[in-house]
Amino acid sequence: MFNLIIKDVLIQKKQFIFGIAYLAFVLVAFQGMGEAMFPMGLVAVTYMLSMTACAYEEKNKSDLLLNSLPIKRMSIVAAKYLSVLIYAVMGILSYKAMITIINLLNIPLKTYPLSLEILIGSLAAVCLMTGIWFPIYYKLGYMKMRVANFVLFFLFFFGSSLMTQALKSKHDSLWVKDIISFFNTQSNITIVLVFIVIIVLYMLLSFSLSAWFYNRREF
Amino acid sequence: MESILEIKGLKKSFKDFSLKGIDITLEKGYIMGFIGPNGAGKTTTIKLIMNLMKKDAGVIKVFGLDNVKYELDVKQKIGFVYDENNYYEELTISEMKRIVASFYKTWDDSAFNKYIGEFRLPLKKKIKDLSKGMKMKFSLAVALSHNADLLIMDEPTSGLDPLVRRELLEILSQIIQDENKAVFFSTHITSDLEKIADYVTLINDGEIVLSLEKDELINNYGLVRGGKELLNNVNSKDFIDIRENQFGFEALVKDKNQTRKAYKDKIIIEKPSLEDVMLYYTRRCRNV
């Protein structure tokens, strides 16, 4: 399985350079965004890399090859999920390296050290995205997934603003109050832990769904 | 004799095509040519053996083991070459080899290097820069480098020049010197098989039309030619199919000795090629 991840990295050498360049661009161009620039940049880079990896699978018709080798279908799916983590770690490390260089050379750019909250938040955002679109990819294949993604993208954007409005309007309802009071009364560590547990469960569910779909695919 | 590949009652239905309960048996030490026109079900059968598709009914046993239940064990011992390149075009030969090798317990690097040398394949070249022949040779090198006992090939010679095709056939006949191995070779270029196949299985429209020893087929079957006047007196049941032309007729028969006895010197009998056998059988199915 480790070798499947290496394969995804090897076929995307150029995209990795582009990814790092994009992060550098985000650092310079989105100075006004403050700390939020990093989650945005990381989500964009991991999205691009995992999409490209899937595009290459489609282009090379690699499902035929991978499923003819002695590999479990589940491992093929697991490798894709883990590779996203590798992209995220690479993104984090290169971002860290960039801010270190900026600070060392006294380049007149504002840098924001990566706090634990931002780091977890960024990873959660990456997981949120990956968790939705991998099952779609394993169910429909790359080409159809692109259409589904387009729809999802808009749903996400309009949906999130609609949801915020809805939550605001229901500010007085009981369950919203319950949630708010839960977060207010817990320590930061508890909140982070609850958050991590939710994300892990969400990813496990997404993975099981992807593996289930992929097991049923015919090539 | 122990069967290396055993297929019984294999069924698979699609919207416009179905595999109608086929049986195939391949024993150790032999090469089986799996022939048939395009769309007859060759690739579907191979995909079912490799568990790339799910069967509707039937049994597939490789090395005596169920191909789905013991999928990973079975695949450790299968070498495969498909008609198209399915390796990652962005990787070099050595990168791709490293990845594929990691999945085989019995990967043999020295065998791989030997084939790479023999085939004159450039290790540092990206797969997308290789010619079709070189890509096929790379697939073959991979298929031969993990001590596979069964080689499954789906139209490996399609689109290759005669020189590379000949090379491939020579390698296959070398491999089969080891009597524990077997080759299952699908093709619609039947002349490839005349030289190397021990058995020939003909599939048409999802059904096995015949499965025989190649020599038995070439020796017993006959391509019969005769004058038009004979056509009114022949029993069409004696022939697999009859093709009429300006001067007379040409037909395929199962038992040329019997035909010779029946029609004596009114006809000329020749040895059929595998292509003749395939054409007559598939046409008959269409005519029926």
For chain B, how many residues are written? 288
A window 27-56, beta carbon within 8 A of B: 56
What pLDDT is attached to residue A68? 95
Please report the pLDDT score of residue B228 as a whole number.
80
Contact in structure between B153 and B186 (CB atoms under 8 Å): yes
Give chain B positions within 8 Å (CB) of A6: 99
Mutate to test the interface with A, among B12, B14, B46, B52 (most CBs of A within 10 A): B52
Instruction: Give the C-alpha separation, B86 to B135, whole Å.
Output: 9
Strand pairing class (B78-81; B3-13): unpaired
Tokens coding A191:
């909140």
Packing angle between helix B109-118 and helix B132-144, nearest 10 degrees? 150
Nearest CA in chain A to B127: A60
B88/A219 touch (CB, cutoff 8 Å), yes or no: no
Distance CA B33, CA B153 (A): 10
Give the gap in angstroms from C-alpha A147 to the nearest C-alpha of chain B. 25
∠ CA B151-B155-B161, rounded to 5°: 110
Identify the closest residue of chain A to B88 by CA–CA distance: A60
Q: Which two tokens stand for residue B189?
A: 């270029």
Q: What is the pTM (predicted TM-score) of this model? A: 0.87
Q: CB of A6 within 8 Å of any CB in chain B?
A: yes
Measured between CB atoms, which of A3, A11, A219 is closest to B47?
A219
The residue type found at B204 is: N
Asked if B82 is an interface residue toward chain A (Cβ–Cβ < 8 A), one would say: yes
Regions in chain A scoring below 70 on pLDDT: 167, 170-172
**Distance (Å, rounded) from C-alpha B5 to C-alpha A204?**
38
- Which run of H or E residues covers position A49? helix A37-59
> 10 Å Cβ neighbour count for A81?
20
| Residue reference for tokens 């491939």 | B168
| B52/A64 Cβ within 8 A | yes
Please tell me the distance from the alpha carbon of residue B183 to that of residue B32, in angstroms, as a whole number.
Answer: 6
CB contacts, 8 Å: B89 with chain A:
59-60
Partner A contacted by B91 (CB < 8 A)? yes
Reduced to 3 states (helix: H, G, I; strand: E, B; else coil), residue B113 is helix
Indicate yes or no: CB of B82 within 8 angstroms of CB of A62: no
φ/ψ of residue B39, rounded to 5: 80, 15
Task: Check CB contact of B68 with chain A, cutoff 8 Å.
Answer: no
Report DSSP state, residue B92: B
The residues of chain B scoring below 50 in pLDDT are none
* Contact yes or no for A5/A82 (Cβ under 8 A): yes
SS3 B227: strand
Residue A155 CB partners (closer than 8 Å, separation 6+): none
Cβ contacts (< 8 Å) between B146 and chain A: which residues? Answer: none
Do the chains contact at A72 and B100, CB–CB below 8 Å?
A: no
Is B87's CB within 8 Å of A60's CB?
yes
**Contact state of A4 with B99 under an 8 Å Cβ cutoff:** yes
**Closest chain B residue by Cα to residue A5:** B99
B72–A7 CB contact, under 8 Å: no
Give the long-range contacts of residues B190-194, CB within 8 A, separation 24 or more: B190/B33, B190/B35, B190/B273, B190/B274, B190/B275, B190/B278, B191/B273, B191/B274, B191/B275, B192/B33, B192/B157, B192/B165, B193/B33, B193/B35, B193/B274, B194/B273, B194/B274
Over the stretch A57-82, which tens digit does the pLDDT of each residue have? Answer: 988 899 999 999 999 999 999 999 99
Q: What is the ipTM of this complex?
A: 0.88
User: Chain A to chain B, count of Cβ pairs less than 8 Å apart?
Assistant: 67
Q: Which residue of B has its CA nearest to A1?
A: B103
CA B229, chain centre distance (Å) = 39
Output the pLDDT for position B127: 94
Distance between B280 CA and the closest CA of chain A, angstroms: 32
Asked whether the beta carbons of residue A64 and residue B82 sit closer than 8 angstroms, the reply is yes
pLDDT score of A26: 86
